[in-house]
A and B are shown apart, each in its own frame.
Chain A
């Protein structure tokens, strides 16, 4: 299975994630404290600022890694929230079936037709000051895809012999779901987790770019891109570096997610893309 994954994407993403995790311990500079002696340094190996510094003298590489850290944290938070709700909703609908299922999936259909980004912006009005709460809320409104897929899988699982056996053996629905159905959904859930994380990273960057996401001095990829865009005339480096990093993260995760989907979910791997 691993042989079919895009290796370069895996290695790159692993390096980025590792940097984001380890940055508080390995970085020689602080990401928030201005350094008035080294404003706007361009790429310099000798000064120790590998990618130079920004307009407040803060090391760009360190800020990039911190930005990644926040973006990834926020993305994980939202993804797990959406996963939690989506799996619960999908399994319940798929396992119980009948009218409950019809009602639950009908409400998913209605929610699907809502304008997602405008609603996320409405959420920023409510949770504006608190990015953690904001992204839990974003996760709470983006569980629809996962719920649909999990429901479909549960429907097929329900027909399988071992579930039948458990039911005949007197196991209660909650037990069957926990012991038999959820473990069998892990593959598909992992696939959609890898596809949801980059989506949320993009949403975070979108909001931060508009000034509605992470608030200074906290940084994120979106904040860095917005800062870079405002200074690109003098320092295009400040725009290009975070942009490349974001595009890399999204590209690599999408490649890995697609490859994983082909492995776990042969039904959806029929496309020619």
Chain B
């Protein structure tokens, strides 16, 4: 297991390097600098600003400089928020993203799995149709529609829950953002689990389990569910990415101070270092997430050799 982990970790490094290089190249290919809008700047001040951000150096030097910074886990100063480093912005925002994203994945599984199992067991029955109609809806309606609609219904019309604001992470403030983020993934989870469970239920070893006289409950819980969950585990990688990017919308809609909002503001204000920093962070999180999913899969499936 340890050797496998190490090998996977090593293959992740080039991927990260590609992410960093590409983001760097794209941002520096952008026409105009970040300070072009501030026309009234004196040339001397401008030069000194550019010196602080190393903008006066050649591109390869800037790139190497950035890589050097990254090696020390330093994402550099923000262009927009002077006197604040990108590291500080991220360390403020990341806990919020992780809380909302983690809870959303959990809710998606808790909601989607029973639905998928129910649909598979009552295949073509009423429950199956209801569950799959819900899933189709969840997949067709993106987060930026569900989020405002949830606010409209539960905050504006019913006054049950607050329409936004972090509120120090109070449960009341978390319900709507987490739900809005979780719904589409609950739909995917239900669809994937339904399909794979229907598949597994046709397998010869399920017939063996039945021929042994085991009751349905045991056949499903012990023999069918574990293999059926494997496709779901591989879906967790893409789902984690989706939750991460979905949280960008959620944070904007619910006015939560997570990284997603810094990211959008950074893109708006051409805050290169901030956008770079968040992109690199996202890339790192995604690589890490995929690594964890692979390990999880290997651990769950005895046929995968480590």
Contact = CB atoms under 8 A, between A and B. Distances in A.
Nearest to B197: A272
Contacts of B144: 205-206, 209, 222, 225-226, 229
A272 B282 contact: no
Contact of B18 (A114, A232, A272): A114
Contacts of B142: 202, 205-206, 246, 250
Contact of B145 (A124, A247, A271): A247
B152 A232 contact: yes
Q: Which of B142, B152, B195, B286 has the most CB of A within 10 A?
A: B142
B22 A114 contact: yes
Contacts of B279: 115, 118-119, 121-122
Interface in A199-241: 202, 205-206, 209-212, 222, 225-226, 228-229, 232-233, 236, 239-240
Contact of A113 (B137, B156, B270, B290): B290
Interface in A134-189: none
A13 to B, nearest CB: 13
Nearest to A254: B140
Nearest to A255: B136
Nearest to A113: B15
B19 interface: yes
B275 A239 contact: no
A239 B264 contact: no
A118 to B, nearest CB: 5
Nearest to A123: B26
Interface string B1-36: 000000000000011001100110011011100000
Contacts of B19: 114-115
Interface string A87-101: 000000000000000
A37 interface: no
Contacts, number: 125
B283 A246 contact: no
Contact of B286 (A115, A205, A226, A239): A115
A114 B283 contact: yes
A118 B283 contact: yes
Interface stretch (B105-113, B208-216, B244-252): B244-252
A103 interface: no
Q: Chain B interface mostly helix, strand, loop or mixed?
A: helix
B122 to A, nearest CB: 14
Size class of the contact patch on chain A: 35 or more
Contacts of B287: 113
Contacts of A211: 264, 268
Contacts of B137: 247
B94 interface: no
Nearest to B199: A272
Given A115-B282, A202-B142, A125 B270 contact: yes
A54 to B, nearest CB: 16
B218 interface: no
Interface string A233-262: 100100110010011001100100000000
Interface residues of B, number: 51
Contact of A232 (B23, B151, B283, B290): B151
Nearest to B18: A110
A240 B152 CA distance: 10
B290 A206 contact: no
A271 B282 CA distance: 32
Contacts of B30: 125-126
B145 A225 contact: yes
A246 B26 contact: no
Given A113-B290, A232-B152, A119 B241 contact: no
B15 A212 contact: no
A117 interface: yes
A212 B268 contact: yes
A122 B274 CA distance: 11
B27 A125 contact: yes
Given A115-B286, A124-B267, A225 B148 contact: yes
Contacts of B149: 239-240, 243
Interface string B134-165: 00110111101101110110001000000000
Interface of A: 110, 113-119, 121-126, 128, 202, 205-206, 209-212, 222, 225-226, 228-229, 232-233, 236, 239-240, 243, 246-247, 250-251, 254, 271-273
22 contacts: A114-B15, A114-B19, A117-B245, A118-B263, A118-B282, A119-B23, A121-B267, A122-B26, A123-B26, A126-B30, A202-B142, A205-B144, A206-B249, A209-B252, A210-B248, A210-B249, A229-B253, A243-B141, A243-B149, A247-B137, A254-B139, A272-B198
Closest 5 CB pairs of A and B: A117-B245, A229-B148, A126-B30, A251-B140, A209-B144
